[in-house]
Amino acid sequence: MRGRGDFGSVRGEFMTTTGKFQGLGRALGVGSEMVAATGVGAAIGWWLDNLTGWSPWLLIIFFILGSAAGFMAVYRGMRGKEPGK
C-alpha cells in the first residue's frame, strides 16, 4: 500500500519524455514559438508604424521578419529529431 507522498512509479512515468505524447509536446512547443515570433514581429512593426507614420510598411517588414524567425525556430526545433536518433 502506498502511503501519502509515495509516488513510486507514477512519478517516473510522468517525468519521462518518452511516451505517446512526446511528439505532441514537441509540436505544440514549436508551433507556439512560430506564433509568438510572428506576433512579436507584427507588434513591433505596428508600434513603429504608429511612432513614425510609415503605415503599413514597417508592419509588413516586421511581420515578414517575425515569420522568418518563426520558421527558423521550427527548423531548429525539428532538425535532428528524427525517429531512431
Helices and strands, counts by H and E, the chain:
3, 0
Q: Where are the domains of the chain?
A: 38-80
Statement: residue 71 has pLDDT above 70: yes
Give residue 16's pLDDT. 53
- Computed over every residue of the chain, the mean pLDDT equals 81
* Residues 58, 63: Cα–Cα separation, whole Å: 8
Look at residues 31, 34, 66, 32 and name the one whose alpha carbon lies nearest to residue 47.
66
Which pLDDT tens digit goes with each residue over 16-55? Answer: 556 777 778 888 888 999 999 999 999 999 999 999 999 9
